[in-house]
């Protein structure tokens, strides 16, 4: 018998006061898996710089950062990052990271659905896109189930532990 685990989690938009918690999560998760583009080098920005960036994103009509918070601790981040350039400001790049201790609880799906909902309400974002390592089959299956299509496979798209790995480019239109 499989025992279901419930999670008392709040998902909300990031604000400048979250800067330190965001940096802590990204630095903590950087080495939990080989699926991240960041490694032991860490994020490399100050809390003040992150706070300034979070403020810009919070006041943007085509960017967002959502945080998953459990017992006051940030355990997940999902974001849409788009350009300010008029010809491409409708394209949102998705990023998502969840602390490994919280994998397998459905949080990735919930956060992705919230990003898609945000994009639909934004009236600016018309295309969501992401990159995921080919070997990350769980994430690829999630994105596929949410309507993302495989557009390309980039050979040698990332190098991890001395090995060159393929990366999938996936996208979904927001209509």
Residue 140 lies in a domain: no
Residue 20 lies in a domain: yes
| Phi-psi sector, 171: left (phi>0), alpha (psi -120 to 50), beta | beta
In the chain, the number of structural domains is 1
Which residues are within 8 A (CB) of 102 and not within 5 positions of it... i.e. 6 or more apart? 7, 68, 70, 75, 76
pLDDT digit string (tens) for 9-26? 999 999 999 999 999 998
* Run of H or E including 24: helix 19-29
Per-residue pLDDT, averaged over 149-175, amounts to 95
Residue 169 lies in a domain: no
Mean pLDDT (the chain, rounded): 91
pLDDT digit string (tens) for 42-90? 567 889 999 999 999 999 999 999 999 999 999 999 999 999 999 999 9
Residue 143 lies in a domain: no
The whole domain housing 114 covers 9-126
Residue 103 lies in a domain: yes
Residue 14 lies in a domain: yes
| 57 burial type by CB count under 10 A (0-12 exposed, 13-18 middle, 19+ buried) | buried
Residue 144 lies in a domain: no
Q: Tell me, what CATH number does 60's domain have?
A: 3.40.630.30
pTM listed for this prediction: 0.88
Residue 120 lies in a domain: yes
């Amino acid at each position: 018998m499989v025992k279901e685990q419930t999670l008392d989690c709040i998902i909300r938009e990031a604000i400048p006061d979250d800067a330190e918690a965001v940096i802590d999560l990204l630095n903590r998760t950087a080495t939990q898996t080989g699926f991240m583009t960041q490694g032991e080098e860490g994020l490399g920005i100050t809390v003040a710089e992150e706070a300034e960036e979070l403020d810009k994103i919070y006041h943007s009509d085509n960017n967002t950062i959502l945080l998953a918070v459990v017992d006051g601790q940030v355990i997940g981040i999902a974001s849409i990052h788009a350009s300010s350039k008029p010809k491409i400001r409708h394209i949102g790049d998705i990023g998502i990271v969840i602390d490994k201790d919280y994998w397998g609880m459905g949080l990735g799906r919930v956060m992705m659905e919230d990003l898609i909902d945000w994009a639909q309400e934004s009236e600016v974002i018309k295309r969501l896109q992401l990159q995921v390592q080919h070997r990350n089959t769980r994430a690829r299956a999630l994105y596929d189930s949410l309507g993302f299509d495989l557009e390309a496979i980039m050979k040698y798209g990332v190098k991890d532990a001395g090995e060159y790995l393929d990366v999938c480019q996936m996208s979904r239109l927001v209509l």
